[in-house]
Amino acid sequence: MSTSWRFFRFASPAAFYPLAGKLVPWFGAVAAMLAAIALYLGMLRAPTDATQGDAYRIIFIHVPAAWMSMLLYVVMAFWAAIGWAFNARLASIVARAIAPTGAMFTFLALWTGALWGKPTWGAWWVWDARLTSELILLFLYVGYLALVSAIDDTRRADRAGALLAVVGSVNVPIIYFSVVWWNTLHQGASVSVTAAPKMASVMLIAMLLMTLAFWAYAFAVVFVRTRAISLEREAHASWANDAVRAARPEPGMST
Amino acid sequence: MGQRRRARRTAGTGNVDVNWNSAGEFIAMGGYGLYVWGAYAVTVACMAAEPVLVALRHRAAQRALSDGGRP
């Protein structure tokens, strides 16, 4: 097993640490640039919606946040499972680094949804299948974070977290298809690969650009957190000391 | 008409059609300002705070190593 893993050059914290450090500024810059364009298009150029007025402009952050909340959960569960099955340290670290960002996007999806629901449905919250399953996703993220931080033995915590993450991943298709399977107050999918777009193209472009911005943001933040956790866990290793010493000559910005 | 031109100038490009006639109209969001800006404010706050927190965590990990690490 260990020989086959040598092909994965960046599959160890020691190799990934400097690579992630180089990529973070680029992902950050791309996120800022795309978010600026998306906000310009969505908030200044896009026309007022005929039925919802300007309340619909919440869509430009609500849908990207909701997509990221589900995508990050799947990615977290995937790396947690890889870390468990192949005893790969970096994969487990990445899974743990994703969780707080995923939880944040889940919270933002719920928050922006509540502020959109009040003016359009007349309610901040309803126990509708889509909303309830998204709330369960938040509990899964929080439960994962609580579980891994409650177990002192790092690798045991990783395995317990992986089990929770993998079992909990059944919730993701439930969220996605909830608007199809149940009669929900929440509207159906706004974007589909098979059907023609249901909204003006400037709105669609703004929403997709914001999704890419959130995606690049998630990469940047998760990579910095991966670097932090790698140093915390492998403080005894010579690579960690070398990496910190290499960063010391430039005391300004070293992400 | 003059307001219209000002909105165009704020956008920074010569010949574009901005949805708003004035800054006040933009802030009011057709009466939904509280909801729209409430959603955006919390999103911006979270996405501004998280990179700072994560950078501080990384910095702390680096400092712990350079202070307590082997010489």
- Position A110 scores a pLDDT of 98
- Option in B32, B50, B55 nearest A104 (CB): B50
pLDDT, tens digit (0-9, with 9 covering 90-100), for A70-121: 999 999 999 999 999 999 999 999 999 999 999 999 999 999 999 999 999 9
pLDDT digits (tens, 9 = 90+) for B15-36: 568 899 999 999 999 999 999 9
Model pLDDT, residue A121: 92
The reported pLDDT for the residue numbered A252 is 52
Q: Domain A22-230 belongs to what architecture? A: Up-down Bundle (1.20)
Our count of domains for chain B comes to 1
Beta strands in chain A (DSSP E): none
Q: For A151-181, give one letter per residue: b (16+ CB within 10 A) or e.
A: eeebeebbbbbbebbeebbebbebbbebbee
Least confident among A18-27, A132-141, A238-247, B10-19: B10-19
Check whether A7 has a pLDDT greater than 90.
no
CA–CA separation, A138 vs A52, rounded Å? 28
Query: pLDDT band at residue B53, thresholds of 50, 70 and 90?
Result: very high
Query: Which residues of chain B make contact with A225, given a CB cutoff of 8 A?
Result: 54, 57-58
pLDDT at position B6: 45
Task: Report the SS3 class of residue A70.
Answer: helix
Q: What is the pLDDT of residue A69?
A: 98
Using pLDDT thresholds of 50, 70 and 90, give the confidence band for residue B5. very low
- Classify the C-alpha dihedral A37-A40-A46-A52 as positive or negative: positive
pLDDT confidence tier of residue B9, bands split at 50, 70 and 90:
very low
Per-residue pLDDT averaged across A38-50, rounded?
Answer: 93
Contacting residues of B for A202, CB less than 8 Å apart: none
What is the mean pLDDT of the segment spanning A219-245? 94
- CB of B25 less than 8 A from some CB of A: no
A-chain residues near B70 (CB < 8 A): 241
| Residues pairing with A60 in the sheet | none
Residue with tokens 């990207």: A64
Over 50: is that where the pLDDT of B3 sits?
no
Closest-CA residue in chain A for B43?
A108
Q: How confident is the model at residue A194 (pLDDT cuts 50, 70, 90)?
A: confident
Question: B11 pLDDT exceeds 50?
Answer: no
Q: Is residue B57 part of a domain?
A: yes
State the maximum Cα–Cα separation within chain B, in Å, rounded to a whole number: 71
In a domain, B71, yes or no: no
- pLDDT for A10 equals 67
Predicted pLDDT at A251: 52
**Alpha carbon of B2: minimum distance to chain A alpha carbons (Å):** 18
Mean pLDDT of chain B, nearest integer: 81
Q: CB-CB: which of B40, B43, B65 is closest to A231? A: B65
Of A117, A130, A128, A122, which Cα lies nearest the Cα of A55? Answer: A117
| Residue B1 located in a structural domain | no
Q: Is B61 on the interface with A (CB under 8 A)?
A: yes
Whether the CB of B54 is below 8 Å from some CB of chain A: the reply is yes
Confidence at A195, pLDDT banded by 50, 70, 90? confident
